[in-house]
């Protein structure tokens, strides 16, 4: 049904429905009558698609109900499309919104709660690289320092080299936190950090090691970015990355609930040096 009269928007469909209700047009699809209701360039399409409905026994009242149902469906679809934006990184950067710009905006406008899940972070080895890395985190760090009430939870991956079977997990955790604070985090107040401890299992302990691989940002339970991009310079400036930004509270709440469920189950645990 959704493909019927697909060239018409909600207003045109409702105008047609009203014309059926008032008797100005019928299902014989008279072109001159239809032209008085919709634009001339659409009239032939409308007349052609209305005729089979009449042949199938649909009356004017049924046609009106059908058209108003289609109008409501298309209005709802437009509302969804307006809440969903394509977010993209590539060397050309055409019409989609830039990942780095979207991420900075989300981090800067959070007021009460921000949840960030990420797989990889930069590991700078020079002052220049360190400055670039801190630049990524600066909008969030500034916002946290300016808003003591803002709660930020970060879910990160802390893993070990597959060949490493001797280093204590606590030592790897300590190194991750120290490097994050020293090399990447430019603020005074730190976010709450969590990880999946399965990423630290050795090959002697399991042959099916797992990791925290999700990448998303949820702001104030109202907006959510689901993306392939890590919180790294490469992902936000050079790679080809794709994501969707949704201004949808129900989806945002569901994403938060997923992570909180893993916390409650002990699958994700607090990270501390």
Q: What is the pLDDT of residue 43?
A: 80
The 10s digit of each residue's pLDDT in 27-68 is: 877 778 888 887 777 788 888 888 888 788 888 888 889 989
The mean pLDDT of the chain is 89
Checking if the pLDDT of 237 tops 90, the result is no
For the residues 193-220, what does the mean pLDDT come to?
Answer: 90
209 phi/psi in degrees, rounded to 5: -70, 150
**Quick check: 151 pLDDT over 60?**
yes
Spatial CB neighbours of 53, under 8 Å, sequence gap ≥ 6 = 27, 63, 66
Q: Give the model's pLDDT for residue 95.
A: 61
Do residues 241 and 235 touch, judged by C-beta distance below 8 A?
Answer: yes
Give pLDDT, residue 1.
Answer: 47
Question: E-assigned strands of 107-197?
Answer: 113-117, 151-156, 192-195
Q: How confident is the model at residue 178 (pLDDT cuts 50, 70, 90)?
A: very high
pLDDT value, residue 74: 86
Local confidence band at 225 (pLDDT 50, 70, 90 cut-offs): very high
Cα–Cα distance, 37 to 254 (Å, whole number): 44
- DSSP 3-state assignment of 27? coil
HSE of 56, CA atoms in CB hemisphere, 13 A: 8
Segments making up each domain of the chain, as ranges:
10-81, 90-270
The secondary structure of 38-82, three-state, reads CCHHHHHHHHHHHHHHHHCCCCHHHHHHHHHHHHHHHHHHHHHHH
Q: In this structure, what token pair is assigned to residue 55?
A: 């042949």
What is the token pair recorded at 181? 């604070």
Residues of the chain with pLDDT > 90: what percent? 52
- Indicate whether 263 pLDDT > 50: yes
pLDDT for 195 beyond 90: yes
Q: How confident is the model at residue 273 (pLDDT cuts 50, 70, 90)?
A: low
Mean pLDDT of 135-157: 96
CB 209 within 8 A of CB 197: no
* pLDDT computed for residue 93 by the predictor: 62
| CA angle at 102 for the pair 96 and 104, rounded to the nearest 5° | 150
Q: What distance in Å separates the CA atoms of residue 230 and residue 24, rounded to the nearest whole number?
A: 58
pTM of the model: 0.73
> Under CATH, domain 90-270 is a member of which superfamily?
Endonuclease Chain A (3.30.870.10)
| Residue carrying the six token digits 């709802």 | 76
Q: What is the pLDDT of residues 107-131, one digit of tens each?
A: 999 999 999 999 999 999 899 999 9
Cα–Cα distance, 101 to 118 (Å, whole number): 17
Which tops the pLDDT comparison, 209 or 185? 185
pLDDT of residue 162: 78
């Amino acid at each position: 049904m959704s493909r019927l009269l697909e060239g018409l928007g909600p207003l045109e469909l409702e105008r047609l429905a009203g014309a059926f209700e008032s008797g100005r047009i019928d299902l014989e699809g008279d072109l001159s009558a239809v032209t008085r209701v919709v634009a001339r360039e659409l009239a032939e399409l409308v007349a052609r698609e209305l005729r089979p409905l009449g042949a199938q026994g649909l009356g004017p009242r049924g046609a009106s109900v059908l058209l108003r149902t289609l109008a409501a469906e298309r209005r709802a679809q437009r509302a969804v499309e307006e809440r969903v934006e394509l977010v993209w990184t590539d060397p050309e950067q055409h019409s989609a919104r830039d990942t780095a710009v979207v991420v900075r905006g989300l981090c800067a406008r959070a007021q009460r709660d921000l949840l960030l899940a990420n797989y990889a972070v930069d590991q700078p080895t020079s002052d220049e690289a360190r400055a670039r890395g801190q630049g990524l985190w600066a909008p969030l760090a500034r916002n946290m320092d300016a808003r003591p009430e803002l709660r930020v939870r970060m879910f990160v991956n802390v893993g070990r080299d597959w060949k490493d079977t001797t280093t204590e997990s606590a030592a790897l955790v300590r190194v991750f936190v120290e490097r994050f604070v020293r090399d990447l985090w430019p603020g005074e107040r730190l976010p709450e950090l969590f990880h999946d401890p399965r990423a630290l299992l050795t090959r002697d302990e399991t042959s099916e090691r797992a990791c925290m691989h999700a990448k998303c940002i949820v702001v104030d339970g109202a907006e959510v970015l689901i993306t392939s991009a890590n919180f790294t310079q490469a992902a936000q400036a050079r790679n080809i990355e794709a994501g969707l930004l949704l201004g949808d509270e129900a989806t945002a709440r569901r994403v938060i609930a997923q992570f909180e469920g893993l916390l409650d189950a002990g699958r994700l645990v607090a990270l501390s040096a």
